[in-house]
């Protein structure tokens, strides 16, 4: 679909947008166009929500990276495969990839935990991998960043021709740090991006003549804006904080991706539908029931008014992502 075509071919997005058919634990979505196959891919952390759990947070470790595909512009998604990642040992944990394309090659920046564990007290690295087909991934390097506990890379190319990475440094109270690169291979760590509330899953996008960053604060998603990728201002209210009314959308929105298409911006986020008042144990609470562990991917359209981003998650989403 070209920029000049009508949007009347847009389809009503499914609600929920997607549930994983293997573990029912799709989380941390990131959406990218597959040039070779002429379809959209969605990568996600495939939490093992439906396994029998005996040891605390085993189910959020040992996780593969799932891939769903869409041939109708993002309105519906089907499970395709797990990403073929050979880095590490068989029991390694893969979390929260960011995937981008540059000069015909795909790059993944993946959080890796060296094993399957029943607690959170273990190192995490961000690993750079590359691919020609979005399925098979080759290790390039383990990035040298601010500490031995870094997660959730979000990569974006600025107007200054630098690539910027934002990530969560767990050693510094889960603060957002940044790094930059000219070639996606050699990275210079820039330290803390700004002082502010702890969060994870930073995602940067350019819209309405400024940069925005979405951060999961576990109480909805914080929204920050910048004109130069250096100084960031937080808007007063989080988006996706209040429960929605749609199927599987009655809890806070979590770790998101944003796809900008002309004047529209779509936010892909996940929910834990079973985590309602009284049983919200947080990610990986000990021996949570399956219904509390399971998760669903949702999509909503962002709205921009008077310099502020809003999101009405209950509005029907008509979507036709363009390549």
User: Using one digit for the tens of pLDDT, what is the confidence trace for 187-202?
Assistant: 999 999 999 899 999 9
Taking residues 306-319, what's their average pLDDT? Answer: 97
- Residues with a catalytic annotation lie at 28, 200
Provide the pLDDT for residue 8: 64
Give 306's DSSP letter. T
The answer to whether residues 295 and 274 touch, using CB atoms and an 8 Å cutoff, is: no
Given a cut of 60, whether residue 321 has pLDDT beyond it is yes
**How confident is the prediction for the chain on average, in pLDDT?**
94
What percent of the chain stands above pLDDT 70? 93
Provide the pLDDT for residue 77: 98
The answer to whether residues 57 and 115 touch, using CB atoms and an 8 Å cutoff, is: no
Which residues have CB under 8 Å from 5's CB, separation 6+? none
**What's the Cα-to-Cα distance from 213 to each of 118, 157, 248, 251, rounded to whole Å?**
32, 13, 25, 22
Element at 205 (helix H, strand E): strand 200-207
The answer to whether residues 45 and 27 touch, using CB atoms and an 8 Å cutoff, is: yes
The answer to whether residues 237 and 222 touch, using CB atoms and an 8 Å cutoff, is: no
The answer to whether residues 245 and 230 touch, using CB atoms and an 8 Å cutoff, is: no
Banded model confidence at residue 169, pLDDT cuts 50, 70, 90: very high
Q: Which of 84, 45, 85 is nearest to 66 (CA)?
A: 45
Sheet of 65-70: strand order equals 26-34, 39-46, 65-70, 78-82
Taking residues 223-232, what's their average pLDDT? Answer: 95
Tell me, rounded to whole angstroms, the distance of Cα 304 from its chain centroid.
Answer: 21
The answer to whether residues 29 and 256 touch, using CB atoms and an 8 Å cutoff, is: yes
Taking residues 292-313, what's their average pLDDT? Answer: 97
3-state secondary structure of 216: strand
Given a cut of 60, whether residue 55 has pLDDT beyond it is yes
Banded model confidence at residue 283, pLDDT cuts 50, 70, 90: low
Joined together, the tokens standing for residue 115 give 């094993």
11-319 CATH:
2.115.10.20
Banded model confidence at residue 2, pLDDT cuts 50, 70, 90: very low
3-state secondary structure of 2: coil
Provide the pLDDT for residue 277: 66
Taking residues 245-263, what's their average pLDDT? Answer: 97
Q: How, if at all, do strands 308-311 and 39-46 pair? A: unpaired
Provide the pLDDT for residue 323: 87
Taking residues 37-43, what's their average pLDDT? Answer: 98
Alpha-carbon gap, residue 72 to 9, rounded angstroms? 10
Taking residues 96-117, what's their average pLDDT? Answer: 98
- N- to C-terminal Cα separation, the chain: 7
Provide the pLDDT for residue 179: 98
Given a cut of 70, whether residue 35 has pLDDT beyond it is yes
Domain boundaries, the chain: 11-319
The torsion angles phi and psi of 171, rounded to 5 degrees, stand at: -70, -20
Task: Sort 246 into a burial class: Cβ within 10 Å, 0-12 / 13-18 / 19+.
Answer: middle
Which residues have CB under 8 Å from 133's CB, separation 6+? 36, 106
Banded model confidence at residue 1, pLDDT cuts 50, 70, 90: very low
Given a cut of 80, whether residue 217 has pLDDT beyond it is yes
Provide the pLDDT for residue 88: 97
């Amino acid at each position: 679909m070209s920029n000049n075509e009508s949007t009347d071919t847009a389809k009503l997005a499914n609600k929920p947008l997607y549930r994983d058919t293997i573990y029912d634990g799709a989380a941390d979505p990131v959406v990218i166009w597959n040039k070779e196959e002429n379809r959209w891919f969605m990568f996600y952390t495939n939490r093992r929500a439906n396994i029998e759990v005996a040891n605390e947070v085993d189910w959020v470790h040992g996780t593969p990276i799932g891939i769903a595909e869409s041939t109708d512009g993002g309105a519906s998604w089907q499970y395709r495969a797990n990403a073929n990642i050979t880095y590490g040992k068989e029991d390694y944990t893969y979390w929260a990839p960011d995937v981008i394309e540059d000069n015909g090659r795909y790059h993944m920046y993946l959080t890796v935990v060296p094993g399957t564990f029943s607690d959170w007290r273990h190192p995490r690295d961000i690993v750079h991998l590359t691919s020609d087909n979005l399925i098979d991934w080759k290790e390039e390097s383990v990035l040298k960043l601010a500490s031995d506990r870094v997660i959730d890379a979000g990569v974006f190319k600025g107007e200054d021709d630098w690539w910027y990475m934002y990530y969560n440094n767990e050693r510094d109270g889960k603060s957002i740090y940044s790094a930059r690169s000219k070639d996606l291979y050699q990275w210079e760590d820039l330290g803390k991006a700004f002082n502010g509330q702890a969060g994870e899953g930073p995602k940067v996008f350019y819209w309405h003549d400024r940069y925005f960053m979405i951060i999961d604060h576990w109480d909805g998603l914080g929204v920050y804006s910048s004109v130069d990728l250096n100084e960031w201002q937080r808007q007063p209210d989080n988006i996706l904080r209040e429960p929605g009314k749609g199927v599987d959308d009655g809890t806070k929105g979590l770790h998101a991706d944003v796809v900008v298409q002309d004047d529209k911006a779509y936010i892909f986020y996940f929910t834990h539908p079973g985590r309602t008042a009284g049983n919200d144990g947080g990610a990986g609470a000990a021996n949570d029931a399956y219904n509390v562990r399971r998760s669903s991917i949702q999509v909503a359209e962002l709205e921009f008014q008077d310099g502020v981003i809003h999101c009405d998650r209950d509005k029907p989403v008509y979507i036709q992502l363009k390549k």
